[in-house]
Structure 1
């Protein structure tokens, strides 16, 4: 095994997509592949999602990489295009675009194209990030319908700000506003991200767009993947490269951040923030070695972490696999120990980590 390795389980990926379909059986699925498929590998993941109806990315470069990789399914640019020269590229590659501001609308109206582009009109119902103001929907909608370079069907979409919390009344307010705005517009609707797919079935609409849940990670507040019948797709692991004694009172790592309260042994694992393991992981963050949980101690270094394995040095040997997160050790727990979110951990995997793709684990 290479040292830092991300093992990607294709069977788990497809099972999670099936779970999405079981939760939203009447909706088409737009699988979200932005940020290198949430750190899992853009093209390899897309190639395994034959049952998805479309793919979504954030940037046109990601969409082009999918086409270069042989992906022919519809691809939606969730942030739309950033300059007018992208429009010809979108048409040539059969990309679909979100429109969320006046610049994009005007660029489409002023284009000189040999065909028409599929458009998703995004309305800001409360996220206050991207999207047209609710008061502008009728104007934007009519101008898009009148534009000769926009396909006749204009899909309508919005984005929830708090869908991970099913107790937050803001979700219902956004849903009601969107439903009011689109009531007289007979177009396909798309509202639900991963959290809304689980927490708000009434928001499923014609399309759902799963991201995090498709990779087997919980998008719901204070919930682990197993509770949602999701299977982690990635296992991040490395190897023990040293086992060494530490005496009571001796400091470990940069700044002497941790001192042994008794004589013990440490396992040194070849992974660190240079691989994407979170530098701010706290003392006590679990690491799994030989099916046993051991606490991380000392500061995370660029290339190494140290793990307290206790008084028995024979419990762990050089060459043993150490699991940072995966099916047996929830990434949601590691994220909490690092005061971050699972999204960031997945997206922070660095290029020096080796990827291993398997059919099942």
Structure 2
């Protein structure tokens, strides 16, 4: 057998979460965002589990080509448009929709002799100050591309949809956006996961769910999405590979960060930072352990000691029946990835995307 760590990807959870998006945004079409290998879940799993989406949104034209080669006939949106002018012919052959966010991309499209229509989502910088045309330049860019024969649509991105008490708010960005596109034809794409969850007056014709499709929270706090009844798509599992009996005062791991407060059992789990588990996980970060002799019931046990390259250590006082070979869930159904991330001073996005290539993946 291989080392026991495994990332299980549940395609029915993808479908469930997509259905929840449809319930929350019933009047909108859906761009399912699958950049970064579907947030670390694999394109194969996304293509299966999100097959009923209206379109996929991603970054690289090579990934768009993969989708076409594997049978996807629906729409594909390139979220950052072209990175090089010589990609245009391939983009047209693959029938991709393009985001255009800067003058260079605009000029490339003007020079291109398109032999069939191309959909363009022109991106407005309505306040995030990352990508997009400022409102004062937006209408000129729109008319130039419209005159060149492109099918034009409108896009912006909210900076604070997950922090409603900060400025500029979603409302102020939406006001800027609506004023700039007044009188211009074309559909709109506005809402990311946070806006879908908390600002359903700012959805647009196309929504762009990302992290919520994977069952994690845009804010990094699992409690914030409990009302949405999403399901974790990825379960990261491993097993206990050794058990140490410690006495009071014994220290654990590199640097001896944790000292045993009493005699206790420590479980050694085959998972470390080389697998993508966060090295900075604090003492107390929860894992779920199958307490096998109690009819398979599981219990939460805390990490103790520093995470090392290939292993981490857990306090088994809550799991007296755990043994070598007991299954451990690092995150998934029992332990939200957002909880692990919060205990590691990061966000669930990073953990999902950072699962290492050496971790086997099983698509269910």
* TM-score normalised by length of structure 2: 0.94
Q: Helix, strand or coil: the match of 1:135?
A: helix
Q: Secondary structure at the match of 1:201?
A: coil
8 Å CA contact 2:220–2:348 kept in 1: the answer is: no
Name the stretch that deviates more: 296-305 or 222-231: 222-231
Q: Indicate which of 301, 323, 328 corresponds to 2:329.
A: 323
Is this contact kept in 2: 1:263–1:311, CA < 8 A? no
Could you tell me how far 1:220 is from its partner in structure 2?
4.0
Contact preservation (8 Å) 1:218, 1:228: no
Residue equivalent to 1:206:
205
Which residue in 2 is equivalent to 1:168? 166
Task: Tell me, yes or no, if the aligned pair for 2:190 and 2:207 is still in contact at 8 Å.
Answer: yes
Report the Cα distance in structure 2 between the residues aligned to 1:171 and 1:203, rounded to whole angstroms: 8
Match of 1:133 in 2: 134
SS of 1:217 mapped into structure 2: coil
Post-superposition CA distance 1:207-257 (Å, at most 9, x none)? 101111111112246443433211111111111101111222222111222
Count of aligned positions? 354
Query: Which residue of 2 is the match for residue 335 of structure 1?
Result: 341
Aligned to 1:196: 195
- Determine helix, strand or coil for the equivalent of 2:7: strand
Alpha carbons 2:221, 2:339 under 8 Å: kept: no
Segment of structure 1 superposing worse, 302-311 or 84-93: 302-311
Give the unaligned 5+ runs of structure 2.
Answer: 291-297
After TM superposition, the structure 1 = structure 2 runs for residues 1-361 of structure 1, keeping only pairs within 5 Å, are 3-148=4-149, 150=150, 153-169=151-167, 170-220=169-219, 222-224=221-223, 225-290=225-290, 291-310=298-317, 314-358=320-364
Q: Deviation at 1:161?
A: 0.5
SS at match of 2:22: helix
Deviations 1:100-140 (A, max 9, x none): 00000000111233333211100001111111111111110
Q: Indicate the larger mover: 96-105 or 53-62.
A: 53-62
CA distance in 2, matches of 1:340, 1:181: 36
CA distance in 2, matches of 1:123, 1:155: 11
In structure 1, C-alpha distance between the alignment counterparts of 2:68 and 2:128, rounded to whole Å: 31
- Does structure 2 conserve the Cα–Cα contact (< 8 Å) formed by 1:265 and 1:310? yes
Q: Distance in 2 between matches of 1:264 and 1:200?
A: 49
After TM superposition, the structure 1 stretch with the greater mean CA deviation from structure 2, 218-227 or 85-94, is: 218-227
Deviations 1:144-200 (A, max 9, x none): 10113x2xx311000000111233342211011111111211210110000001111
Q: Does the aligned pair in 1 maintain the 2:5–2:238 contact within 8 Å?
A: yes
Q: Deviations over 1:241-283 (max 9, x none)?
A: 0111122222211122222122211100000111111111001
